[in-house]
Chain A
Amino acid sequence: MSNNKEEIRIGVYICHCGHNIAGAVDVVGVAEYAAKLPNVVISKDYKYMCSDPGQELIAADIKEYNLNRIVVTSCSPLLHEKTFREATTKAGLNQYFMQMVNIRENVSWVNENFDDATEKSKDLVRAAVQRVAFQRALEKQKVPVNPNVLIVGGGIAGISAALTMANAGKKVYLVEKESTIGGHMAIFDKTFPTLDCAACILTPKMSSVKNHPNITLWTYSEVSNVEGFVGNYKVQVTRKPRYVIEDLCVGCMLCVEKCIFKEGKFPDEFNQGLSKRKPVYVPFPQATPLVAVIDDKTCIHFKTGKCTQTCKTACDRNAIDFDQKPEIKEIEVGTVLLTTGFQAFDAKKVPYYGYGKYPNVFTSLEVERMVNASGPTEGHVLTREGKAPKSVGIIHCVGSRDEKTHKWCSRVCCMYSLKLAHLIKEHTGADVYNFYIDMRTPGKGYEEFYDKLLHEDVHFIRGRVSEVTDWITSPEEEGKLIIRAEDTMIGMVRRIPVDMVVLAVGMEPRDDAQEIRKMFNISCSTEGFFLERHPKLAPVNTFTDGVFIAGACQGPRDIPDSVAQAGAAAAEALVLIDSGHVELEPNTAYIVDEICSGCKSCLNICPYKAITFDLEKNKSSINVALCKGCGTCVAACPSSAIKQNLFEDVEIFSEIKGIFVE
């Protein structure tokens, strides 16, 4: 409430914004009009209010005319509210005595009639003049930031971010769902366009994570609860039982060798099901931590209780513990980095490409494992019959750029298809056909790699494949798969018989993305990837302060982009941590205790979980650090006991009155 005894002295500043506003609004006329409004002491128009002279103009006037309220009539507050608040502060006036009016986005850019635009600008200025008189001085609150950080997801993005944060001296908790870190990158054989061995560049980083004194690595673990707010999160992590004591196991593999199953019997997830594993296993030789895990869904001990436990006997370090229970860890962190990655599109969802029906239709990830020397075929590309293919068709955009599945481009498939084409040709000498819609190779050295492939005698057919069948028309085609596609370069439908089909599956949000989104109170964009605060200017921030995102959980991207984003997210988190505290906007809601009846109507409607109930006082209470000032509770309170700074009733009503009453 304004102090009635205080004389209100308002300064109004109309910005031309070059021609942006002045070209569509009579700025001089608006300024002259404003000068006659009640409480307005001075009213001026100026070419660029945001320029230094523009800001100084405000500061000088505050002193000269003893102004105590400022109205800046220019562009969107999103752009320059901070600028004019600072200018106001510089002159010794509380920054919340400044009110902005947007006559650019809301008026000049969207109106064609000069007079109408001018009239509307006058209305908006009049409203702001009435409102600003009631605005109060407010202070930003400072909250300390816990320097510890939680990183969820141990793929290449999580690994990179963890090492950056840890090297900067911060305590990092890295939580990974699987029994090892490494993510999708660990599955790949080579990386494009340099054809670096993926393991050679990834595994040193995995070891660094394991050995870093500042990193606590919890694999086979999931975040189960999150409470608190920016700078002060309380997180619960559930460590699933792996039935092998991590501190005792040295990864000698004796238990795997001595398992009651002589041979692997269950699909090996790491090898995309192309090989079999035992119930006790280590996913791959460079798994980090190098600790065995027992899968209780397939282990005989857990299924029947009638196993001789040969693995346990074999372990001379007594590392196997069948009685292990889930363990809950409670940690406190100030910032959170989500690097939970993606999942590959399920090729069975496009039945016309025959995955799951024809044995020799493979996904790209399966072929990644095949070309890998430590993979299920020891580096040989083989059909299911165990023969080297003489011809291979790679189908691009499976689950990408498709109205029926996913509309987006997955960004990596063109490049990895080129890589696989090169590797398949290198390994088998087969004729390789790439069926593409467009080749998308924007990246350093990517187009050059495509060019290299064009000279390697790989065939490129431009057109979406309509189907893969076993519909052969001559005896020579016996056993082959027939790819039918329109070749848009020659304007004909082509029919190419091949021994093997590779489906370049796209990237999609993980099935558990929604669960994670809810837990950390962030948003997803329509397709289900985590939503960034701004697509261009805040790509690793979210709308929840202190929670950052990086890598393919935010959208399809390749390794270099994921690593770059991880660095950006780490930097953003470091900014928060190193500033030591966060400043909270004071436009928060507050409860007038004398009016609150304790009806609890507000408790469940707060989207930010900012309202709690004080049992002793029998009244609701708002945590200002969590409140985002959305106003939902203010509107919902049946006794009007909740008010909101900067949006007090008197402020809003006087603004509305200003709009309508001349």
Chain B
Amino acid sequence: MKYLYYPGCSLKSSGKSYEESMLAVFKHLGIELQELNDWNCCGATNYMAINEQSAMSVTSRNLALAEEQGGSGEINLVAPCNACYMGLLKTKTYLENEQGLRDSVLQKLDSIGMKYEGRVKVRHPLDILVNDFGLDKLKMAVKKPLKDLNVVSYYGCQVVRPITAFDDASDPVYMDQIAMTLGATAVDWGMKVRCCGGSMTSTVSDVGLRLNYLLLKEAKRKKADIIITACPLCQFNLECFQDKISRKYGESVNIPVVFFPQLIGMALGLDKKELGLQRMFVQPQYL
């Protein structure tokens, strides 16, 4: 199994442990990732909100690069960050369906000597693990089953919405299934796809912190030992403001928040450092 890999900015900075753990886990499982050469910004939510057409032109350059570097036929491009994933998927979908946008974007690509034929399939690592690799095979690879660990899965907004390319839009279960495959207990909760505040934790912090407080508090009430997530921004919001939130609301909301490949890596018996666990602010004691 070989895929092109689009890291995006977060996986090289604040979400470095997401990249480290994913690369380690995929390598261990025999899933080969080849980083896209010369990739650029995914357009993210901010640019898209201000000027969708320009943002998508920027994004589409990545799709064009994937076609240049991925050979003939259909190309699977893996984007682990939820914002990158949705930015690329949305752009690809719009290019397929909106004639006007397609013409304008292709013209811009042409002006820098590039073209896009529509051969790229945008994939998320969750999708790859469950649908391409398979949970049965993952189960066989588990060396240290995560017994007695209560896991809540937090999907955030962009991984299954607004475009649902895998799993369910309002009740996603892939991370829960992975947690169970690893031997952990997947605790069901009603907050799977509720907002993490996005960038509001910095811009309108009262609102942003409250949203994270609600999530953390419910995770604690559900007696979760750990929260797993698939998005660098969600992980950052949930983990990095815990002390501030605890002080603000007068109750402890401390709980480890890790990327799902970090959890997989531990069950596979990989080294903590390989998984970037030393970078976490709230150290998962169990792991």
Chain A residues in the interface with B (C-beta under 8 A)? 351-352, 357, 467, 469-472, 482
**Nearest residue in B to A478 (C-beta to C-beta)?**
B221
* Residues of chain A contacted by B188 (CB below 8 angstroms): 357
CB–CB A471/B171 < 8 A? no
Contacts of A352 in B (CB 8 A): 170-171
Question: B33 on the interface (CB 8 Å rule)?
Answer: no
19 CB-based A-B contacts, threshold 8 Å: A351-B168, A351-B170, A351-B171, A352-B170, A352-B171, A357-B188, A467-B170, A467-B190, A469-B189, A469-B190, A469-B191, A470-B189, A470-B190, A471-B189, A471-B190, A471-B191, A471-B218, A472-B221, A482-B190
Q: List, in ascending order, chain B residues with CB within 8 A of A470's CB.
A: 189-190
Smallest CB gap from A350: residue in B = B170
Q: How far in angstroms is the closest Cβ of chain A from B29?
A: 29
Apart from A351-B168, A351-B170, A351-B171: 15 A-B pairs, beta carbons within 8 A: A352-B170, A352-B171, A357-B188, A467-B190, A469-B189, A469-B190, A469-B191, A470-B189, A470-B190, A471-B189, A471-B190, A471-B191, A471-B218, A472-B221, A482-B190
Nearest A residue to B171 by beta-carbon distance?
A351
Q: Using an 8 Å CB-CB cutoff, how does the interface string of B162-184 with A read, 1 for contact, 0 for none? A: 00000010110000000000000
**Closest beta carbon of chain B to A654's beta carbon, Å:** 45
Interface residues of B (CB under 8 A from A): 168, 170-171, 188-191, 218, 221
Q: Which residue of B has the minimal Cβ distance to A404?
A: B169
User: Chain A binding site: helix, strand, loop or mixed by DSSP?
Assistant: mixed
What residues of B have a CB within 8 angstroms of the CB of A351 in the complex?
168, 170-171
Which B residues are CB-close (under 8 A) to A482? 190
Tell me the smallest distance from the CB of B121 to a CB of chain A, in Å. 24
Residue of A nearest to B192 (CB): A469
Give the 9 A-B residue pairs with the shortest CB-CB distance, closest first.
A469-B190, A351-B171, A471-B190, A352-B170, A471-B218, A351-B170, A470-B190, A351-B168, A352-B171
In this complex, the member of B171, B190, B218 whose beta carbon has the largest number of chain A beta carbons within 10 angstroms is: B190
A352 to B188, CA, bound (A): 13
**With a CB–CB cut-off of 8 A, which chain B residues contact A467?**
170, 190
Chain B, residue nearest A469 (CB): B190
A333 to B205 CA separation, bound complex (whole angstroms): 76
- CA–CA, A477 and B232, complex, Å: 33
Chain A residues, Cβ within 8 Å of B221: 472
Return chain A residues, CB-CB under 8 Å to B171.
351-352
CA distance A472 to B171 in the complex (A): 18
Shortest Cβ distance from B20 into chain A, in angstroms?
33
Query: What's the nearest-Cβ distance from chain B to residue A482, in Å?
Result: 7
A470 to B223, CA, bound (A): 14
Chain B contacts for A357, CB-based, 8 A:
188
Q: Report the Cα distance A470→B168, complex, angstroms.
A: 19
- In the docked arrangement, what's the CA distance between A165 and B56, Å? 67
Assembled-state Cα–Cα distance A467/B168 (Å):
14
Distance in Å from the Cβ of B185 to the closest Cβ of chain A? 16
B170 nearest in chain A by CB position: A352
Separation of A352 and B170 alpha carbons in the complex (Å): 6
